[in-house]
Amino acid sequence: MFVSDCLGLNALGHLTIGGRDTVELAQTYGTPLYVMDEDEIRQACQSYRESINKYYGGHGMVTYASKAFCCKAICKTVMEEGLGLDVVSLGELYTAQSVGFPAERIFFHGNNKTVEELCAALEYGVGQIVVDNVTELMILNELAISAKEKANILFRIKPGIDAHTHDFVRTGQIDSKFGLALETGEAMNAVKAALSMEGIRLKGLHCHIGSQIFDIEPFEHAAEVMLQFMADIKAQTGAELEVLDLGGGFGIKYLPDHDPVEYDRYMMQVSGTVKKTCEKTGLRMPFIVIEPGRSIVGPAGITLYTVGAVKEIPNIRTYVSVDGGMGDNPRYILYQSQYEAMVANKAGQPKTQSVTIAGKCCESGDLIGEGMQIQQVEPGDIIAVLATGAYNYSMSSNYNRIPKPPVVMLRGGKDRVVVKRETMEDIVRNDLL
């Protein structure tokens, strides 16, 4: 009935998350409010880990792409679940460090890491730096030499896969700011350069073909292309790379008709493809890394808002204004992303209305969604937007000087605040006269 397993309906006809009444949570903490279910997050971590154990003999690792939702609590949770962590900035690395995340399980990504970030990565002993380009390779080599270290790296490769998803979140094709191209020889040249560098230990290759992908074939195709490239590297240089990182991008259910692949099936099919391709090319089975972000935290989160004005424009549309908007969820204005919404205090009633949910920012485009099916709504109702656990809090802003909402985490049905609500003092904290 609901898009996520952690959601339900109680005897009062209210929406529940992790067994807790969302209307009550909205009363306790105020709105707008992010609520997340830690049990659902842990379950997702375990499913991914078990799938690697089951289908790939445990010769692999799941790293959580922390950009989907990064705070101390989530870093600690995925650490406890035995996952690795992807970071793409000093801020994400700092967050990981602050909970003592094991450095060897951290992967540092990004297409334009600063010298400061590379130094911090070396200093913390980050397990793998995923090098995007030759400029970065040369800088890292020098930094590592002067620190008398050898940096473990993977190369970010563009495998040239079209993953049938939104253009803005498609990154495997040649016209992408990320990574080294295969077709042009750029990738092979970088590999040869790295193999001769004193400060660099080339461990393997990485690709990430996009996000919110519902098919398995693009991942299988990417694995084949990457392994073929590993075989070419072996043939041309004699070096056999150990690590193949296939990225993230597994789609989740935002709308009732979305049909994501079971986490299990992905590893089942892709490990089969890896085994076959290794036999064909004579390569050893590489250590496999996958990097889910959205699918670990997305389904576990919701956002709660209070309805203000309801503006009916006859024969055009009904605007339902809420006390949040693009500041806490910029995904509609960025990509027209679709979400399911409901009136949390009337969740048991049929959805009889199609509305546009609007935020409170001074932007006509500040919408949560258009044509959203919802129960009969009136001022004071609580609206829940579902599956907002990924790329909502992490992409939030203070536009219009609106404070960011808090994140309440539920575990075993018990609630705790893991990110505090911003105050007006926070809003002016860095202002100087």
Ligand X SMILES: *Cc1c(COP(=O)(O)O)cnc(C)c1O
Q: Which stretch in 245-253, 267-275, 403-411, 421-429 sits in contact with ligand X by CB under 6 A?
A: 245-253
Confirm or reject binding of residue 141 to ligand X (CB under 6 A).
Answer: no
Q: What three-state secondary structure class fits 227? A: helix
For ligand X, give the closer residue by CB, 292 or 324.
292
Confirm or reject binding of residue 247 to ligand X (CB under 6 A).
Answer: yes
Confirm or reject binding of residue 86 to ligand X (CB under 6 A).
Answer: yes
| Closest CB to ligand X: residue number | 293
Q: Which stretch in 28-36, 74-82, 241-249, 410-418 sits in contact with ligand X by CB under 6 A?
A: 241-249
Q: How far is the CB of 298 from ligand X (least distance, A)?
A: 8
Biggest distance spanned by C-alpha atoms of the chain: 71
Q: How far is the CB of 93 from ligand X (least distance, A)?
A: 15
Among 248, 359, 405, 406, binds ligand X (CB under 6 A): 248
> Nearest CA to 271 among 42, 23, 50, 10?
50
Q: How far is the CB of 67 from ligand X (least distance, A)?
A: 6
Q: What distance in Å separates the CA atoms of residue 121 and residue 317, rounded to the nearest whole number?
A: 51
Site for ligand X in 390-409 (CB under 6 A): 390
Residue with tokens 């609500």: 421
Residues that bind ligand X (rule: CB under 6 A) add up to a total of 17
Backbone angles phi, psi at 269, to 5 degrees: -75, -45
Structure tokens at 229: 């490239």
Binding mask 142-181 for ligand X (x = CB under 6 A): ----------------------------------------
> Nearest CA to 373 among 341, 396, 395, 416?
341
Q: How far is the CB of 410 from ligand X (least distance, A)?
A: 22
For ligand X, give the closer residue by CB, 82 or 379.
82
DSSP-derived secondary structure for 323-379:
S--TTT-THHHHH-----EEEGGGTTS---EEEEEE-SSS-TT-EEEEEEEE----T
Q: CA of 363: how far to CAs of 162, 257, 317, 326, in Å? A: 33, 30, 18, 9
Q: What angle do CA 166, 43, 383 make, to 5 degrees?
A: 60
Q: What distance in Å separates the CA atoms of residue 214 and residue 253, rounded to the nearest whole number?
A: 10
Q: How far is the CB of 309 from ligand X (least distance, A)?
A: 34
Q: What distance in Å separates the CA atoms of residue 137 and residue 199, rounded to the nearest whole number?
A: 10
Binding mask 48-77 for ligand X (x = CB under 6 A): -----------------x-xx---------
- Clarify whether 362 is annotated catalytic: yes
Q: Which stretch in 22-30, 187-195, 246-254, 280-288 sits in contact with ligand X by CB under 6 A?
A: 246-254
For ligand X, give the closer residue by CB, 37 or 323.
37
Confirm or reject binding of residue 293 to ligand X (CB under 6 A).
Answer: yes
For ligand X, give the closer residue by CB, 210 or 406.
210
Among 172, 218, 292, 389, binds ligand X (CB under 6 A): 292
Q: What distance in Å separates the CA atoms of residue 297 and residue 167, rounded to the nearest whole number?
A: 23
Among 109, 158, 346, 360, binds ligand X (CB under 6 A): 109
Q: What three-state secondary structure class fits 299? A: helix
Among 14, 113, 208, 331, binds ligand X (CB under 6 A): 208
Confirm or reject binding of residue 291 to ligand X (CB under 6 A).
Answer: yes
For ligand X, give the closer residue by CB, 127 or 247.
247
Q: What distance in Å separates the CA atoms of residue 115 and residue 135, rounded to the nearest whole number?
A: 11
The edge-to-edge listing of strands for the beta sheet with 15-17 is 7-9, 15-17, 20-21
Confirm or reject binding of residue 211 to ligand X (CB under 6 A).
Answer: yes
Beta-carbon-side half-sphere exposure of residue 261 (alpha carbons within 13 Å): 21
Confirm or reject binding of residue 249 to ligand X (CB under 6 A).
Answer: yes
For ligand X, give the closer residue by CB, 68 or 278.
68
Radius of gyration of the chain (CA): 23
Site for ligand X in 14-33 (CB under 6 A): none
Q: How far is the CB of 170 from ligand X (least distance, A)?
A: 11
Strand segments (E) across 79-211: 84-87, 106-108, 128-131, 151-158, 180-181, 200-206
Q: So which residues are the catalytic ones?
A: 362
Point out which residues bind ligand X (CB under 6 A): 65, 67-68, 86, 109, 208, 211, 247-250, 291-295, 390
